[in-house]
Amino acid sequence: MAGRLRLPDPAEKNYAPVEGEALAVAWALEQTRYFTMGCNDLKVIVDHKPLTKLFGDRRLDEIENPRLFRLKRRTLMWRFKIEYQRGASNPFADAMSRHPNQYAELASASMMSVHDSEKAAYIGSVASEAEMILAVTWERVQTASIEDESMCLLANYIRIGFPSSKEDLPEPIVCFWEVRDNLRCSEGVIMYKDRIVIPPSLREQIVANLHSAH
């Protein structure tokens, strides 16, 4: 994580402390996903105690704050335990979060051997390509859902209510009949409980991403 420091978005200056701390957890997981995703004994250490409840056993439908809802949703692909530690007992996190100035970066670069530089360039190119592979963001799902006729049709039935008989449903969304009571719509995206219903146009890419490690 030290090699990919994150510059704050201007809008994030208005975040409440718990929102900023939650953003740090979501961002850290996303930046380390090649090492942490699929890890069965992953532990996240935080120095902000309210996060232990938010990322612990709190369900999405219990979170009223829209920002915290979105940040919690971004972490659902990971299975982890979250633990609180005072900042004084976890100095490593503070050391890794310090943004180096230009002189520190130049000094670091001058100390790298040719082999190190080539290795860093290779890792950077792999990371860049990986970003393109896994870039199925919430915004992309949202756009694809709004543009898909079957997803729009399903969203409409979620809003107005399902018919009393399965036979009265249009063919494209008949498959959702059995789970209709667990469906909801959030910002144009269909959710089944706390999981996203991927629109048809993105399903092939999602499957390819899931199998890419093989």
pLDDT in tens, 95-148: 555 555 555 555 455 555 666 666 666 556 555 545 544 567 888 899 999 999
Residue showing tokens 């120095």: 47
The residue ranking higher by pLDDT, 16 or 177, is 177
* Boundaries of every domain in the chain: 10-97, 102-133, 138-211
The whole-number average pLDDT for the span 55-59 is 86
Angle at 193 between CA 188 and CA 194, to 5 degrees: 80
Give the CB-side neighbour count of residue 122, counting CA atoms within 13 A.
6
Q: Are 201 and 208 in contact (CB under 8 A)?
A: no
Q: What is the pLDDT of residue 159?
A: 92
How does residue 62 score in pLDDT terms, banded at 50, 70 and 90? confident
- Reported confidence tier of residue 2, pLDDT bands at 50, 70, 90: very low
Element (H, E) at 25: helix 17-31
The CA distance from 56 to 77, in Å, is 14
Mean pLDDT across the chain? 79
Distance CA 166, CA 176 (A): 10
SS3 82: strand
Asked if 55 and 61 count as a contact pair (C-beta separation under 8 A), the reply is no
Instruction: Check: CB of residue 190 under 8 Å from CB of residue 145.
Output: yes
* Cα(45)–Cα(88) distance, integer angstroms: 13
Query: Residue 184's beta-bridge partner residues?
Result: 191
| HSE, side-chain direction, 13 A CA sphere, residue 30 | 19
Give the Cα-Cα-Cα angle 25, 27, 30 (nearest 5 degrees): 110
**Model confidence at 94: pLDDT above 70:** no
pTM here is 0.43
Task: Note the pLDDT tens digit of each residue in 181-214.
Answer: 999 998 889 999 888 899 999 988 888 777 765 5
Q: Where are the beta strands (DSSP E) in the chain?
A: 42-46, 80-84, 183-186, 189-192, 195-196
